[in-house]
């Protein structure tokens, strides 16, 4: 997988896994928990280091660090700390597993992960899912979804998007015309054309297609999708388009709407903050500031409280005035 450098969390130095394990044990031992120590250590070490701490914890004390966190912490703060401890390679597979188990499927999670991950990341998720859960991710997803929403998910799961190697202007024109005829010029959209083109063409090609579409139709492609489709398919098509335009902008918007209005969608807030903290959270912060007239830091500060807020603000890694 690619080496990302736009995260807010990097390897901590000088790092001493045993010392961290001892500090965490002391923080959770006896009456009352020293949450400050727990959150400070776990948000300032990267995921690989957290795994080393867990291993040292077991070696020194014969105890499972995650089990101890679960028994000593509660609520959203517990969820955040436990999410930070999840090994990075399994994070997405685990989120998908929980999105498609039991009663009702969490379409939001399927949409967010499959629209935003690179083809290499999707291939990795499928392999890990098979290894960890002895099940085929595609089978699981097709068993719980239907219609055009299901078809686009399956296309994205193939992870066969064309590589970015130069753009053919004639094909750009052709795709833009096909989408225009399928969307704006038809009663009832030809969803299949949208699914095939948005799910398989290269990123740089599609960015040109969106520009051309605007020229031909006078509409942004998002406006057409908004008008012509609905429900889960609409949300997935929009997520794919937004991620093609800019993954950090997509996540900035996802974070914004997780906190905007009454009540917070803490599951989304936690999932995005943790999963992007070592990848592109700096870019997400920049897009957030640009698009929402306040910083991510300020919005987290306003919308959360207590140790949960302290930990999220440390993960956020700073304000953008």
Reported CATH class of domain 169-245: mainly alpha
Distance CA 318, CA 281 (A): 11
pLDDT of residue 108: 95
pLDDT of residue 291: 96
Q: What CATH superfamily classification does 89-158 receive?
A: Annexin (1.10.220.10)
pLDDT of residue 2: 54
How do the domains of the chain map onto residue ranges? 17-87, 89-158, 169-245, 247-316
Q: Is the pTM of this model over 0.85?
A: yes
pLDDT bracket for residue 102 (50, 70, 90): low
pLDDT of residue 123: 97
Distance CA 263, CA 90 (A): 29
- Residue 169: exposure state from Cβ atoms within 10 A (0-12, 13-18, ≥19): exposed
Architecture of the domain delimited by 247-316: Orthogonal Bundle (1.10)
Determine the average pLDDT of the residues in 123-151.
Answer: 96
What does the DSSP 8-state code read for residue 242? Answer: H
Residue 246 CA from chain centroid, whole number: 13
Query: Are 90 and 129 spatial neighbours (Cβ–Cβ below 8 Å)?
Result: no
Distance CA 312, CA 191 (A): 39
Distance CA 244, CA 149 (A): 18
Determine the average pLDDT of the residues in 313-317.
Answer: 97
Determine the average pLDDT of the residues in 113-133.
Answer: 97
Distance CA 167, CA 212 (A): 13
Does the 17-87 domain belong in CATH 1.10.220.10?
Answer: yes
pLDDT of residue 89: 92
């Amino acid at each position: 997988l690619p080496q990302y450098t736009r995260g807010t969390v990097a390897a901590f130095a000088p790092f001493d896994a045993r010392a961290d394990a001892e500090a965490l044990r002391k923080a959770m031992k006896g009456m009352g928990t020293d949450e400050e120590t727990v959150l400070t250590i776990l948000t300032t070490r990267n995921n690989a280091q957290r795994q080393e701490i867990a291993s040292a914890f077991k070696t020194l004390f014969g105890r499972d660090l995650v089990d101890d966190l679960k028994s000593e912490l509660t609520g959203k703060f517990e969820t955040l700390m436990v999410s930070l401890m999840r090994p990075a390679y399994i994070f997405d597979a685990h989120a998908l597993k929980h999105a498609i188990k039991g009663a009702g499927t969490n379409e939001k999670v399927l949409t967010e992960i499959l629209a935003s991950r690179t083809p290499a990341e999707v291939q990795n998720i499928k392999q890990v899912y098979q290894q960890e859960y002895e099940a085929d991710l595609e089978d699981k997803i097709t068993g719980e979804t239907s219609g055009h929403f299901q078809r686009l998910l399956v296309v994205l799961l193939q992870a066969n998007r064309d590589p970015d190697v130069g753009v053919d202007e004639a094909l750009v024109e052709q795709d833009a015309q096909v989408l225009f005829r399928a969307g704006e010029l038809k009663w009832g959209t030809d969803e299949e054309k949208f699914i095939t083109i948005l799910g398989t063409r290269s990123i740089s090609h599609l960015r040109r297609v969106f520009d051309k579409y605007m020229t031909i139709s006078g509409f942004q492609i998002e406006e057409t999708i908004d008008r012509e489709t609905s429900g889960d398919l609409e949300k997935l098509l929009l997520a794919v388009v937004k991620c093609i335009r800019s993954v950090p902008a997509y996540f900035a918007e996802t974070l914004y709407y997780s906190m905007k209005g009454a009540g917070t969608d803490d599951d989304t807030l936690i999932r995005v903050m943790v999963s992007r903290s070592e990848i592109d959270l700096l870019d997400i912060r920049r897009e957030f500031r640009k698009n929402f007239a306040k910083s991510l830091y300020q919005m987290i500060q306003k919308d959360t409280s207590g140790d949960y807020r302290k930990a999220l603000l440390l993960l956020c890694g700073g304000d953008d005035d």
